[in-house]
Chains A and B, each alone.
Chain A
């Protein structure tokens, strides 16, 4: 158990809908990262927040947005969903003491768009 929690574990929805994925980092960690992993694909970095502020952006679509709240939990919002958005979405957290900080991953949310 990494100490990172994600809800829900599974999500099934229809095209065009909007969903929110939630992540709580490990106690004391200030940085939260979101990744997408499609079937047989590598982990794709989406976005990073540090202490409430956006810090780095990857291949995140404009239909997707995220935020980190004062209690450091984070939400990833996915809208106008398409079939291709079906994937595992992972959240990771780190203490952000330096560039060698290990990222610890949550169990993921499996999103299925029908």
Chain B
């Protein structure tokens, strides 16, 4: 089957670091995407991992372990504008994205 799990909500403080986990039970995922979505707006692409390991992009990093069916998104130096939902999505052939329900992150001053 294809199932993606992420925590529903997380809170953190401005300037801190937060890690959002995503676990998946599926076969045939080509890779894992992370998207950011502010309420009522379109999801915007953050990162894509196809190989195991850490991909770093400025304040955001994403990690993938295919053998463990596990990924995380790491956000550093949190800013108020980072308050949003973070969506983990698996890419299945031919090009379907299977999304988790998203993690709503609230950043407090």
A residues lining the B interface (CB < 8 Å): 2, 4, 31, 33, 41-45, 48, 50, 55-56, 58, 88, 90, 94, 96, 99-108, 110
Contact call A100/B94, Cβ cutoff below 8 A: no
B residues lining the A interface (CB < 8 Å): 30-31, 33, 35, 40-45, 48, 50, 87, 89, 91, 93-102
Which residues of the other chain, B, contact A106 by a CB distance below 8 angstroms?
Answer: 42
Which residues of the other chain, B, contact A100 by a CB distance below 8 angstroms?
Answer: 30-31, 48, 50, 91
Which residues of the other chain, B, contact A101 by a CB distance below 8 angstroms?
Answer: 95
- Once A41-B101, A42-B99, A42-B102 are accepted as A-B contacts, the answer to whether A99 and B40 lie under 8 Å apart by CB is no
A-B contact pairs, 15 of them (CB 8 A): A2-B42, A4-B42, A33-B97, A43-B89, A43-B97, A44-B99, A45-B97, A90-B42, A90-B43, A99-B30, A100-B30, A102-B48, A103-B45, A107-B41, A108-B41
Which residues of the other chain, A, contact B100 by a CB distance below 8 angstroms?
Answer: 42
Which residues of the other chain, B, contact A33 by a CB distance below 8 angstroms?
Answer: 95, 97
Which residues of the other chain, A, contact B99 by a CB distance below 8 angstroms?
Answer: 42-45
A41 to B91, CA, bound (A): 19
Contact call B33/A45, Cβ cutoff below 8 A: no
- Once A99-B30, A100-B30, A102-B33 are accepted as A-B contacts, the answer to whether A43 and B91 lie under 8 Å apart by CB is no
Give the top 6 A-B pairs by smallest Cβ distance, nearest first: A99-B30, A42-B101, A105-B42, A43-B99, A42-B99, A105-B43
Contact call A45/B91, Cβ cutoff below 8 A: no
B95 contacts which of A4, A41, A43, A55 (Cβ < 8 Å)? A55
Which residue of B has the minimal Cβ distance to A31?
A: B95
A112 to B7, CA, bound (A): 28
Q: A56-B94, A90-B43 are in contact. List 15 more A-B contacts (CB 8 A).
A: A33-B95, A33-B97, A43-B43, A43-B87, A45-B99, A48-B95, A55-B95, A58-B96, A99-B30, A99-B95, A100-B30, A104-B45, A107-B42, A108-B40, A110-B40
